[in-house]
Chains A and B, each alone.
Chain A
Amino acid sequence: MGAIGVIAVNAFRESLRDKILYNLVFFAGLLIGLSVLLADLSITEHHKVIADMGLAAINLIGVIIAIFIGISLVNKEIERRTIYTIMARPISRASFIMGKYLGLALTLFVNMSIMLAVFLLTLSLYHVPIQSSLFQAVALIFVEILVVTAIALFFSTFTSTTLSAIFTLGLYVIGHLTADLRTLMINGDSGPLKSLVDLLYYLAPNLEMLNIKGQAAVGIVAAPGYVVMASLYGVMYAGVLLTGACLVFQQRDF
């Protein structure tokens, strides 16, 4: 196993032994279960409510884990000075960043798999038809979470944990709003506000592209080409951020 793999496995082991993660997964299970209760309260569309709530719970918990573990991945190593002994080994700084990222990605994959299993179990218990659109939605949620993790990791290479959390959360919100804001601005004047929105539109990740939860909950299957392109977009965006994180980390003093 190469150095990246060793770091990744250790990061995965670290998160497995972190009790907070178990609490979050438990909370996700609870939310999915709660969707059944809400479905009972609604007059119609029981199936849609259960599917909608389940997907939203998976997305929410995934993003929370991505942000809060992502921002502490590197900072915790520096604050606790564990980085000293790691960097004294024959491992490049870029390998360290990549290993940490892949370790968290593996953790997120396992967590999402557990949440998906609970979701599917809930659907089958309440005789909600399990359609391929739900798997498409979860796949794109996972891509979105990979992007959010890369954002958190990027900021954590040069700012404090608190600032990283604020910036990541901010970019996450902007990422879901840029397309709507741009649509609003299309008919407006070409002032500085429009330029700012244009800048944000091109710089911030277009996370709405990865959001097909609404249509998936009612069984509308997205075109496979769209899912592939959206996934490629997300992976490439994460790749650019990780490259930036490696370059910034390369210049840091500890």
Chain B
Amino acid sequence: MDDIVTENLTKSYASGWPGRPPFVALDGLSLAVRRGEIFGFLGPNGAGKTTTLKILLGLVRATSGHAFLLGQPVGDVATRRRIGFLPESPYFYDYLTAEEFLGFYGQLAGLDRAAINQRVTDLLGLVGLAEARTRQLRKFSKGMLQRVGLAQALIHDPELIILDEPMTGLDPVGRKQVRDLILSLRDCGKTVFFSTHILHDVEMICDRVGIVMKGRLVASGRVDELVRQDHTRSVEVVCQQLKVEGNAFIHSLATRVLQQGQQCLIVLPSPDAVDALVGEIRRQGGQLLSVTPHKASLEDLFFQEATQQASRPLSHMTSGRAS
């Protein structure tokens, strides 16, 4: 069962000038987020992440394509009772206290007074703001606003939680708290879909990720599967008592050669050349110390995709608009 499905989602904006092509923010984006998983939605600024989230929440209408949340087409008002949302850099009614603020969103979700009181107490404790219950939001720091925003997204105990850059503005402790919170939500059977550009967080907590570039989904799957697909994985070979200077064969195999005293570090672009290199080291009388396959990270994959996209012709697309 998929909680989020998009099929060939496209969003374009008229340029405002006759003859000028429209700006395409999303270009046939198709993805599926399974029930009960944490899905990380990755992409650089302007890739289309926020546009996708806005379409899912009915804030923006897609030019073409379809999207479904919890099995219902986006725009279905009743379905939103089962969805929690935290926007990027949230701005809230700053004249409200934290308690009033959460109460307001609880009422909008149709909760009764008793349920609201209980949820407000629980959630303010969960996000570490119990002390600030009666403080107006205008007196909150950016990190506190982010945390009360998270509490707002969870006030009605939704099944699907959509978060736009939830780690933004948080210190390392706050980020860890949010990571733990997201993991605990999954443990409770919730589905979490969040956009981010902090790759470390994605690698740590996401079951699956999707990478969006220039409005297109360029990769999607489990983090380990995506990283395994990467063909540029390198190997680091360390040896000693070997003079690499002037050895054209070694230089032709390696992407980088570093000689530090007796030791030498040779970086190969792939495991294919390891045998040839080890043979050459032995022939030259060197001593092999280690062979370490360098496991490519999600960051490597991300930059590889970004570089490939950047080198592609733009055709009808225009880059630069914030997502």
Residues of A within 8 A of B (CB): 1, 3, 6-7, 10, 13-14, 17-18, 80-92, 253-254
Contact = CB atoms under 8 A, between A and B. Distances in A.
B59 A254 contact: yes
Nearest to B76: A90
A90 B61 contact: no
B59 A1 contact: no
Contact of B92 (A17, A85, A92): A85
Contacts of B250: none
Contacts of A91: 77, 80, 108
Contacts of B54: 84, 253-254
Given A6-B104, A6-B107, A87 B91 contact: no
B9 interface: no
B204 interface: no
A166 to B, nearest CB: 22
B83 interface: yes
Contacts of B79: 90
Given A88-B80, A88-B85, A90-B78, A253 B59 contact: yes
A253 B60 contact: yes
A84 B85 CA distance: 9
B64 to A, nearest CB: 15
B5 to A, nearest CB: 18
The 8 closest A-B pairs by CB, nearest first: A88-B85, A89-B108, A84-B87, A17-B95, A90-B81, A254-B59, A90-B80, A6-B107
Contacts of B93: 10, 14, 82
B109 A89 contact: yes
Contacts of A6: 104, 107-108
B61 A92 contact: no
B85 A253 contact: no
Contacts, number: 73
Given A10-B104, A89-B81, 7 more contacts: A81-B87, A85-B149, A85-B153, A87-B57, A90-B79, A90-B81, A254-B60
Nearest to B95: A17
Interface residues of B, number: 32
Interface in B146-169: 149, 152-153, 162
B110 interface: yes
Contacts of A84: 54, 57, 59, 85, 87, 90
Nearest to B109: A89
B91 A81 contact: yes
Given A85-B85, A92-B77, A253-B59, A14 B95 contact: yes
A13 B78 CA distance: 27
B107 A1 contact: yes
22 contacts: A6-B104, A6-B107, A13-B95, A14-B95, A81-B91, A84-B57, A84-B85, A84-B87, A84-B90, A85-B105, A85-B149, A85-B152, A87-B57, A88-B57, A88-B83, A88-B85, A89-B81, A90-B77, A90-B108, A90-B110, A91-B80, A254-B60
Contacts of A90: 77-81, 108-110
